[in-house]
């Protein structure tokens, strides 16, 4: 997790990025070592240890790993890692940190190609890398580092593909988005949406007849909507496919969102964003989703902090507030928009909106 960023920085002659990434990686390793040798970090006793224990059990019982979409994809990655490097929790955690380092390198490259100055890139790496949620999910055996890597690769190479009119970059971008989608069923639908949007934007710049392009885009989005629903409802319900099972039992996406949010809030300290969702009508459903999304972006507020642990989501909210403020300022001010600005803003809004639902 140090050597690869060092070689990358040496190749690009960007040492400020290396020091920024090294600082973040060191913080992740400290948390990882504490969790392995000192005490179990609160919150890791659920998903993180479940993934780890399932991978260990599969190896000890000589079972074949499963490649079902969802949690089992990640457990399979852990199984092969433990088989190669040893059945130790530190192996899985170190791999998560390495993946985070790759993601930060990709993010820094995106910022560089958008024209951001080097000192600001280093600061961006530090701010994102030290977000409490990334420190937590990026230091232990969670799926999140791999989702982030898929997303950053997908977005980064999409920008390159659109800018350079390169089908090769577009293919790499598609691979990144699909990798992200393979780790979570909700993200699979998001991956298909982002892939289609990226391809349509690529074609928009390639095709001279814009009116024909808009007609094609409308048809493609219709086909995407139908195929996504069919794909998600036809996936076999395996151990990790709880969302698909819930979708089938609920009878529709709005009902599934309400049911899932209600269930997870009962199971543990999950985010409710201060609102419940009423799916009895399209009007109430739309209103509640918009209220939840707004609160997700800008909350919790300082007045909502009841305990020390509330500082964690509040710190994340500050970063989201700054991101939204930057997007709005660049949009309103009469300044040259950075390359890929509208695409990145579109991806940011799409992913954050999806996050409210699950």
Q: Is the dihedral of CA 27, 29, 34, 40 positive or negative?
A: positive
pLDDT at position 240 over 50: no
Of 130, 129, 179, 119, nearest in space to 155 by CA: 179
Helix (H) or strand (E) holding 18: helix 15-33
268 compared with 102, residue with greater pLDDT: 102
Our CA angle for 22, 135, 67, nearest 5°, is 100
In this structure, what token pair is assigned to residue 339? 């390359």
Q: How far apart are CA 208 and CA 206, in angstroms?
A: 7
- Alpha carbon of residue 77 to chain centroid: 18
Cis, bond preceding 358 (omega within 30 deg of 0): no
Tell me the residue length of the chain.
358
Q: How far apart are CA 200 and CA 181, in angstroms?
A: 19
**Burial class of residue 210 in the structure, from the number of CB atoms within 10 Å of its CB (0-12 exposed, 13-18 middle, 19+ buried):** exposed
In this structure, what token pair is assigned to residue 229? 């629903």
Q: How far apart are CA 43 and CA 17, in angstroms?
A: 30
pLDDT tens figures, 178-193: 999 888 877 888 888 8
Average pLDDT of every residue of the chain: 80
pLDDT at position 20 over 60: yes
Q: How far apart are CA 327 and CA 323, in angstroms?
A: 6
First to last CA, the chain: 31
pLDDT tens figures, 116-149: 888 888 998 998 999 988 999 999 999 999 999 9
Q: How confident is the model at residue 292 (pLDDT cuts 50, 70, 90)?
A: confident
The pLDDT of 327-338, averaged and rounded, is: 77
Q: Is the dihedral of CA 167, 111, 328, 339 positive or negative?
A: negative
């Amino acid at each position: 997790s140090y050597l690869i960023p060092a070689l990358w920085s040496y190749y690009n002659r960007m040492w400020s990025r290396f020091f920024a990434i090294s600082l973040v990686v060191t913080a992740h390793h400290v948390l990882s070592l504490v969790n392995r040798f000192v005490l179990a970090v609160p919150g890791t006793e659920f998903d993180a240890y479940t993934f780890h224990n399932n991978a260990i059990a599969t190896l000890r019982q000589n079972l074949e790993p499963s490649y079902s979409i969802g949690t089992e994809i990640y457990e399979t990655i852990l199984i092969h890692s433990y088989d190669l490097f040893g059945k130790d929790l530190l192996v899985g955690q170190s791999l998560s940190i390495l993946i985070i380092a790759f993601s930060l390198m990709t993010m820094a490259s995106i910022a560089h190609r958008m024209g951001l100055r080097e000192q600001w890139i280093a600061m961006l790496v530090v701010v994102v890398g030290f977000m409490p949620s990334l420190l937590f999910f990026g230091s232990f055996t969670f799926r999140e580092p791999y989702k982030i890597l898929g997303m950053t690769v997908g977005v980064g190479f999409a920008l390159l593909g659109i800018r350079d009119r390169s089908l090769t970059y577009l293919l790499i971008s598609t691979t990144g988005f699909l990798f992200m989608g393979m780790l979570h069923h909700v993200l699979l639908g998001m991956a298909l949406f982002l892939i289609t949007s990226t391809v349509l934007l690529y074609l928009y710049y390639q095709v001279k007849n814009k009116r024909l392009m808009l007609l094609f885009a409308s048809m493609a989005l219709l086909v995407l909507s139908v195929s996504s629903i069919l794909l998600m409802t036809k996936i076999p319900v395996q151990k990790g496919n709880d969302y698909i099972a819930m979708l089938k039992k609920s009878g529709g996406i709005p009902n599934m969102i309400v049911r899932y949010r209600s269930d997870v809030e009962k199971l543990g300290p999950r985010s409710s964003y201060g609102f419940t969702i009423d799916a009895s009508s399209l009007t109430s459903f739309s209103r509640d989703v918009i209220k939840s999304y707004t609160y997700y972006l800008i909350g919790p507020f300082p007045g909502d902090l009841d305990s020390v642990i509330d500082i964690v989501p509040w710190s994340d909210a500050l970063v989201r507030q700054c991101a939204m403020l930057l997007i709005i300022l660049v949009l309103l001010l009469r300044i040259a928009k950075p390359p890929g600005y509208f695409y990145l803003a579109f991806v940011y809004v799409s992913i954050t909106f999806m996050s409210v639902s699950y």
